[in-house]
Structure 1
């Protein structure tokens, strides 16, 4: 065992699952690339689409995007978590997981069909605008995206990261790119762009269904579907609360500080590191599910330490790059001096998210996801209350800090929940060196001048030093 600077070992050897750290790291790298590519693509597409479309037409795209993001969660009904768990821990295994993909896809079609039929009712009531083709296309995109989510859950359990990423690219990368081309060719309407987005998601869903059906026989049963719904449905409020976290804080900033747009930039940059934790989780969760109960806690502890180091290195980089990031993301008319500390504080959410995900693995293994339907909305709600109370005094800093508070509370609530629900409570590992390095980089980011030039070089040097301190102990493990 290689001893890390945290005072604990970084487990290099393959565990009972037979997964070596190198194999797990390679899968995680593919998932990370697949998650980062659409985000990077959006940085290119959004500035272009806002310039090519009129403000009125871009409002159509923005509203449609919100419908897609929420609709995907509702259409999928939380079945993703249930399908991955069924593949690894369920009685029917892979056959049962494939059966659940088919069943949940049919349920998604029914939900989307109902949403389309009732569109003229809920569209004006919830969105304040008449039901039209753009909103209908957003619902169709939600259907495709929801089916893609459940298929990805099956692929995650099967440890097939390449098709997982390719399916994600269809809706989140290819669809927007085609939409941009259509707009460039002269169809400068939000409806045309959303049509391409919907086509990308639907084609990805059809390809995913084809991959699933060709993967082997299926085992479908009402009992299996009921078990999956009992496990998955409670995660819907959890997922919606995660989505609402940033939106709620943007509304607070808009109402109290008249800085909704600035807050959106701050939170988008600060939350960027959580994209990495979500990507790593695609490889992490199956590893923990597969681990025998006798060694599951030990495996969870060792992998948590490793992921904390990786995420800590990224958070340190985001903190030190914050002055440059806000200058790239916003014109000089924005208050960059106020934005930098807000980005730094918001980025701490990624560290807390590692602890939240670690405890949630045990909750999912136990099959007691109902607690997430309460804990996550509670954490987000308390974070928004904190922002309302602190924003008038601390401004944007309070907005960034409140986002981190949400994840700290979420980590605390899920840790307490797993301690109550599982037979043998898991004790999250401390990572003093990781925390000290991240805090030092955050302090440097706030205290150093935000000007470019040599100060940027100094920040880059500090970020590289932080990465070396945090990641060097992992090299031996990854050689195995």
Structure 2
């Protein structure tokens, strides 16, 4: 069950930066401009992937140790200290050796990548502290750490950029937010009680955490990897534009991630004989919610993009990418439904093969299609989640013993796909663009009807 905790936390970790960045992105994009914001986007990808890799999957194991381990909370605290120490040594070594490897980077990325790596180490300390706070059942400090890191960091970065607009200053603000959150988190958790290490705890934790690492890294790289591809094939401006489009297109995933925190336990608690029926009913509800949210964002994207970025980002041209990415958030519901069955079975190793494979296919498709039209870089996101959906479905069929009818997801996915396609293809200005508003009104009426049906059920 530790892996289920890890996956739910990974999706929540993705949601928080989306919300925080949405709050500051309109100002930051205008202050920095399109090229400098491209450097920031790459730095954030390095931070996120660096956090996952250097964290070694230990945060979920800390929670499991505190709840189920023989050494209990005392052992979990000790494991937290060891995990943070290992991460600090790993990242510190990479940073100290940066003169040997940063010459391979573009000049404008060298300082940014080092700052991002240091932020990743602080990010790990925050995650490990929050893992311990789950054990202690202390939600207020947990939320406080999230606010300090994912909102305080961007706000500090915005303040620094307002005084002198460089990408490094924004990333330094991010580093400051995560460093303060790490210090607060470690102080609160270490003062909550003693820590006691038992022989073999660290080896056991690594054996549990490392196998899930490829899966969790691939989830993060589903969006960050596309920015890396954009940077490799095109220029910083394309990275920045894609970053803004993905930030907006992924926004519906925040709601799905929030729902997933209660959806997963609902499936786990169901009896084996009833699990398929429970999953089918709940999956349809979540899928319609995701389809409605994604459709609304896609249809309203021309106006939302003008709020999110300045004219140098050419926001009107990003509407197709928003629609493509938003459709991927609908496909993610199918992946989540299947992955709940895999987690419930406890046989999760296959995800470390299927998820990276799906990511590789998605990135390859993005690289190939972008040669036809740069906006098709975004196709990698839904392709990745389609692969994750199919891979998790195949794995669930093999390991869970539960066979549910995935065809129940076809109607909401068709609805969402059609609306996202309209959002991507309809004109972004002129009288015809008002068709978007009419579609949103119709979606709102449909959503109210669905809510009424769910309440009456």
TM-score (normalised: structure 1): 0.76
User: In 2, distance between residues paired with 1:215 and 1:298?
Assistant: 42
1: distance between equivalents of 2:181 and 2:281?
36
Q: How far does the alpha carbon of each residue in 1:186-230 deviate from its partner, in whole angstroms, 9 at most, with x for none?
A: 465555444432222122112222333355565643444333322
Alpha-carbon shift at residue 164 of structure 1 (Å)? 2.8
Equivalent of 1:38 in 4, 20, 25: 20
What corresponds to 1:371 in structure 2?
Answer: 350
1:120 is paired with a residue whose SS is helix
Counterpart among 410, 434, 458 of residue 438 in structure 2: 458
Query: CA distance change for structure 1 residues 263 and 124 in 2, over 3 Å: closer, same or farther?
Result: same
Distance 1:459 1:31, change over 3 A: farther
Q: Say whether 1:353 aligns with 2:332.
A: yes
Q: Secondary structure at the match of 2:429?
A: coil
* Structure 2 residues without counterparts, runs of 5 or longer: 1-11
CA contact (8 A) 1:312 1:470 kept: no
Deviations 1:418-443 (A, max 9, x none): 33233x23426423442343244335
Specify which structure has the higher proportion of helix: 2
- Change over 3 Å in CA distance of 1:475–1:150 after alignment to 2: farther
Distance apart, 1:407 and its partner CA: 0.2
Structure 2 partner of 1:212: 189
Taking structure 1 as reference, are residues 322 and 252 closer, same or farther at Cα in structure 2, changes over 3 Å only? same
Closer, same or farther in 2 for the Cα pair 1:219/1:351, shift >3 Å? Answer: farther
Asked if residue 277 in structure 1 is aligned to residue 259 in structure 2, the reply is no
Contact 2:32 2:166 (8 Å CA) reproduced: no
Q: 1:254: how far off?
A: 7.0
Return the match for 2:402 from 422, 425, 433: 425
Name the SS of the counterpart of 1:101 in structure 2: helix
Number of residue pairs aligned between Structure 1 and Structure 2: 442
CA distance in 2, matches of 1:130, 1:330: 22
1:102-144 C-alpha deviation (Å, 9 max, x unpaired): 332222222223223323223334x345998765543332111
Tell me the residue number matched to 1:8. none
Describe the SS at the equivalent of 1:451. Answer: coil
Name which of structure 1's ranges 115-124 and 344-353 shifts more when overlaid on structure 2: 115-124
For residues 350 and 163 of structure 1, the distance between their equivalents in structure 2, rounded to whole angstroms, comes to 30
Q: 1:338 to 1:315 in 2, by over 3 A?
A: same
Whether contact under 8 Å (1:232, 1:369) holds in the other structure is no
Q: Is the 8 A contact 1:387 1:398 kept in 2?
A: yes
Cα distance change of structure 1 residues 68 and 313 upon mapping to structure 2, 3 Å threshold: same
CA distance in 2, matches of 1:476, 1:159: 33
- The answer to whether residue 452 in structure 2 is matched with residue 475 in structure 1 is no
Q: How does 1:29-178 map to 2 (within 5 A)?
A: 37-50=19-32, 61=40, 64-86=43-65, 97-125=76-104, 127-129=105-107, 136-156=114-134, 160-178=138-156
CA contact (8 A) 2:15 2:257 kept: no
Which residue is equivalent to 2:283?
304
Q: CA RMSD in A?
A: 4.0
Change (3 A) 1:252 1:433: same
- Matched with 1:200 is 177
